[in-house]
Amino acid sequence: MKYIIVTGGVMSGLGKGITAASIGRILKNKGFNITAIKIDPYINIDAGTMSPYQHGEVFVLKDGGEVDLDLGNYERFLDIELTREHNITTGQVYQTVIDKERRGDYLGKTVQIIPHVTNEIKERIRKVSKKSGAEICIIEVGGTVGDIESMPFLESVRQMHSEEKEEDIIFVHVTLVPLDTQGEQKTKPTQHSVKELRSLGLQPDAIVARCKEPVLLDTKSKIALFCDVPARAVVSAHDSSDIYYVPTLMEKEGLSDYLMQKLKIKEKEVSYVWDTLMKKMASIDREIRIAVVGKYAHLGDSYISINEALKHAGIECGCRVKADWLDSEEFEKNPSDIDMLRKYNGILVPGGFGVRGTEGKILAIKFARENNIPYLGLCLGMQLAVIEFARNVLGITDANSSELATTKHPVIDLLPEQGKVKNMGGTMRLGNCEAELVEGSLASKLYGSTTLMERHRHRYEVNPKYIKQIEAKGMKFTGKNEHRMEIAEIPGHKFFFSSQFHPEFKSRPGKPSPPFLAFVRAAMQ
Residues with catalytic function: 379, 502, 504
Q: Where are the alpha helices (DSSP H) in 200-319?
A: 217-227, 246-252, 255-263, 273-282, 304-317
Q: Is the dihedral of CA 475, 479, 482, 484 positive or negative?
A: negative
**Rounded CA gap, 236 and 174, in Å?**
10
Amino acid at 312: H
| Cβ-contact 15, 210 below 8 angstroms | yes
Closest CA to 157 of 112, 193, 126, 188: 126
**How many beta carbons lie within 10 A of that of residue 461, not counting itself?**
22
Q: What do you get for the CA distance between the two ends of the chain, in Å?
A: 50
Could you tell me where the DSSP H helices lie in 140-254?
151-163, 188-199, 217-227, 246-252
Q: How far apart are CA 434 and CA 481, in angstroms?
A: 7
Single-letter amino acid, residue 366? K
Relative orientation angle of helices 304-317 and 514-524, to the nearest 10 degrees: 60
Strand partners, 344: none
Three-state DSSP state, 236:
strand
Residues making up the chain, counted from first to last: 525
Report the Cα 517 to chain-centroid distance in Å: 18
Look up residue 28 and give its DSSP letter.
H
User: What's the order of all strands across the beta sheet hosting 34-40?
Assistant: 87-89, 34-40, 136-141, 2-8, 169-176, 206-211, 234-238
